[in-house]
A and B are shown apart, each in its own frame.
Chain A
Amino acid sequence: MSDLALSPSATPDESSRHRAWRRGWYRFRRNPAAVAGLVLVVLVVVAALGAPWLAPSPESAGTFVNFGERHQPPSLHHLFGTDNVGRDVFSRVLYGYRVSLLLVVFVLGLSVPFGVLLGLLAGYYGGWIETVIMRITDIFLAIPALVMALAITAALSPSLMNGMIAISLLWWNWHTRLIYTTVHALRHEEYVEAAKIAGASDAHILFREILPNCISVISVKVTLDAGFVILIGAGLSFLGLGAQPPTPDLGTMVASGANYLPEDWWESVLPGLAILFAILGFNLLGDGLRDLLDVEVS
């Protein structure tokens, strides 16, 4: 059997999955922008998760006041200076990342599975299911996200939770459209039809055959989304419609710090840069993943 001898050579104890990952990681490492993105994202995640241990003044995250140390410029003692009630801005930024990531996890955790599910159904079944789902999606796509979020949070009372709900309501449709397009291309793949002939259920075909082939496109999209969700969340709270004081939210910090510009610039500029840092990280990482996985997400 000559065609047997052609299997790729490798150390026998190494699993094929493992090998594929190593090859991917090698290619990823050669893309400096993507590596920079990964470093930024890791820093943000470490900051958020480790805030209680990393923050020099964890009490600054709350209603703590220290009028003796108001408006201190950045120093070794207060890396990012202090705010108008004497709280350590650096500590608040670390906690701020917690809020940002909570927002990302909540919004994407809610909207992505929902959007993906609808996209799968519309793309696979076609017919009236497709028509209904895709027309609703179109309506949501036609409304600018921030405007809608403003309207919803203004109608409900402004709070972090309502802000998150508002953004989630706006987010699923992008995933529906993306997955719909992907599934449309996949549903006539021979392996899908082979599964049908093998007697597989629709649930099996949707979730075991098609969905795994959407994972790369979803992970790229989710990574890029994370940056935008942080931006919109910060925008909402900057306008006072998102997280409310004393929640250490980066957008809120920029807004309240702006009252003391330009003298006490650190109170708003440094949290602003922190937002930028996170957005940049997720975008660079997402772009890198997109190149690596060779998918189209727009």
Chain B
Amino acid sequence: MSTEVPLLQVEDLTKLFPIRRGLFQRVIGHVRAIDGVGFDIRRGEIFGLAGESGSGKSTLARIVVGLDGASSGRIRFVGEDVHTLRGTRGFRRRVQMVFQNPGSSLNPRRSIEQTLSVPLRFHGIAPSAIAPRVRELLEMVELPASFRAKYPFELSGGQKQRVAIARALAVEPELLVLDEPTSALDVSVQAKVIELLMRIRNELDLSYLFISHDLSLMRNFTTRIAVMYLGKLCEMGFTGDVFDHPAHPYTQGLISSVPVVSEEEAALKPAVERIRGEIPSPANVPPGCSFHTRCPAAFRPCRIDDPAFVQVGFEHRTRCHLFPRDSTA
């Protein structure tokens, strides 16, 4: 690997949400939405983050773009602490986000042109340069220039998401955080939006943090993948390695629950049971390994000790008692 400073470094990040009850709103506990998460995103990389609903993906995204603060841990952007950068125009310009729900990420009272001109205005683009730039942005996301004058209610979900992407691209960011950008869309539209995102990344040399609850979706376009469960990373590695040799029983379960197309593919899949039951509440995380309540391979230590995040291959890590210590080749 090069010694270049990663674009984004997430270090031991934790986010607790207080649970309040009663007349005086006393804090009676905490939701551990994110618990000791760490990873890097390198320049030019598409980093996939997968996890079930409630695993903390959006919380992480919000902290990365500076909408929320973390409870502990650190995020660095090109080596600099995001906490000190947070809210500064320079940082805002370099990290942008596309939200999960295209229906609510555009202001219903503002035209597409008004929406797209916000980032331009606030990053010192000359007023006369705004209209041409809006046209350029629409073209970039393959929407006709006539969409300027439209309002969100006239757009389909896919078109809204294209506008949201255009807004995120307006100020030429370096990192785009995509929080389930396609999960609210029909499958055919989903493919088109992903295609668009890939084209844009190649043209503009962007890096993506691509978040999805659908691990298999990310197989074809991510560089590396991290799997999150109840606020913790349970596996991380190059996409090919994770799909070919999933180490964690949870990852194995996620991969095997993907419908198979051919016999050969079925033969290649690891033979593991599908994951049982529901994800526990992050307000009440099971002791030991938080996955043990659903794990087909769970044995005694899983109920007691939280396993370490150990190396199981080249830049491939997992958090599971089946891999007691670093077994790097």
Residues of A within 8 A of B (CB): 1-4, 6-8, 15-17, 20, 189-191, 193-201, 204, 208-209, 212-213, 215
Question: Is the CB–CB distance between B151 and A201 below 8 Å?
Answer: no
Pull 18 A–B residue pairs with CB atoms less than 8 Å apart, ordered by A.
A1-B142, A1-B192, A3-B159, A3-B192, A7-B150, A7-B159, A15-B149, A190-B101, A191-B106, A193-B67, A194-B106, A194-B167, A195-B107, A199-B93, A199-B118, A200-B122, A212-B107, A212-B110
Complex CA–CA separation, A189 to B107 (angstroms): 9
A17 to B188, CA, bound (A): 30
Residues of B at the A interface (CB closer than 8 Å) are: 62, 65-67, 89, 92-93, 96-97, 99-101, 104-110, 114-115, 118-119, 122-123, 142-144, 149-151, 153-159, 164, 167, 170-171, 188-189, 192
Do B171 and A199 have beta carbons less than 8 Å apart?
yes
User: When chains A and B are docked, how far (Å) is the Cα of A168 from the Cα of B21?
Assistant: 39
Give min CB distance, B204 to chain A, whole Å. Answer: 17
CA distance A208 to B119 in the complex (A): 13
For the complex, give the distance between the alpha carbons of A209 and B109 in Å.
Answer: 8
Given contacts A190-B104, A190-B105, A194-B164, contact A199 B99 (CB under 8 A): no
When chains A and B are docked, how far (Å) is the Cα of A194 from the Cα of B106?
A: 8
The 10 nearest A-B residue pairs measured at CB = A3-B158, A198-B119, A212-B109, A199-B122, A190-B105, A191-B107, A6-B156, A199-B92, A190-B99, A190-B104
B104 near A7 (CB under 8 angstroms)?
no
In the bound complex, residues from chain B placing their C-beta under 8 Å from that of A20 are 151, 153
Q: Is the CB of A213 within 8 A of B107?
A: yes
- Known contacts A204-B118, A204-B122, A213-B107; decide if A197 and B154 are in contact (CB<8 Å): no
Residue of B nearest to A211 (CB): B109
Q: How far is the CA of A130 from the CA of B285 in the complex (A)?
A: 34
Residues of B contacting A213 with CB < 8 Å?
107-109
Interface of A is mostly: helix
Give the distance to chain B from A128, nearest Cβ to Cβ, in Å. Answer: 16
CB proximity of A212 to chain B, nearest CB, Å? 4
**Alpha-carbon gap, A189 to B151, bound state (A):** 17
**Chain B hits for A3, CB < 8 A:** 156-159, 189, 192
A194–B150 touching, CB < 8 Å: no
B197 vs chain A, min Cβ distance (A): 15
Q: How far is the CB of B105 from chain A (nearest CB, A)?
A: 4
Min C-beta distance of B263 to chain A, whole Å: 32
Kindly state the separation between the CA atoms of A65 and B19 in the bound complex, as whole angstroms.
74
Q: Which residues of the partner chain A approach B155 to less than 8 Å between Cβ atoms?
A: 7
With A1-B142, A16-B151, A194-B167 known, 10 other A-B pairs at CB within 8 A are: A2-B192, A8-B154, A17-B151, A190-B101, A194-B105, A199-B92, A199-B93, A199-B122, A200-B118, A201-B122
Chain A residue nearest to B67 in the complex (CB):
A193
Q: Is there an interface contact between B142 and A199, defined as CB atoms closer than 8 Å?
A: no
B100 (CB) vs chain A CBs: closest residue: A190
Measured CB to CB, the closest approach of chain A to B120, in angstroms, equals: 9
User: Chain A's nearest CB lies how many Å from the CB of B190?
Assistant: 10
Residue in A191, A195, A201, A212 with the greatest tally of chain B CB atoms within 10 Å: A191
CB-defined contacts of A199 to chain B, threshold 8 Å:
89, 92-93, 118-119, 122-123, 171
Give the docked Cα–Cα distance between A233 and B307 (Å).
74
Is A193 within 8 A of B143, CB to CB?
no
Q: Are B188 and A2 in contact (CB under 8 A)?
A: yes
Q: How far is the CB of A244 from chain B (nearest CB, A)?
A: 44
Is there contact, CB below 8 Å, between A198 and B105? Answer: no
Residue of B nearest to A2 (CB): B188
Report B80 CB to chain A, min CB distance, Å: 18
Cβ–Cβ contact A7 & B156, under 8 A: yes
B159:A4 contact, CB within 8 angstroms: yes
Say whether B143 contacts A4, CB under 8 Å.
Answer: yes
Chain A residues near B93 (CB, 8 Å)?
199
A201 / chain B contacts, CB cutoff of 8 Å: 122
Pairwise interchain contact A16-B67, C-beta atoms closer than 8 A = no
Query: Quick check: A197 and B65 within 8 Å, CB to CB?
Result: yes
Which residue in chain B gives the minimum CB-CB distance to A3?
A: B158
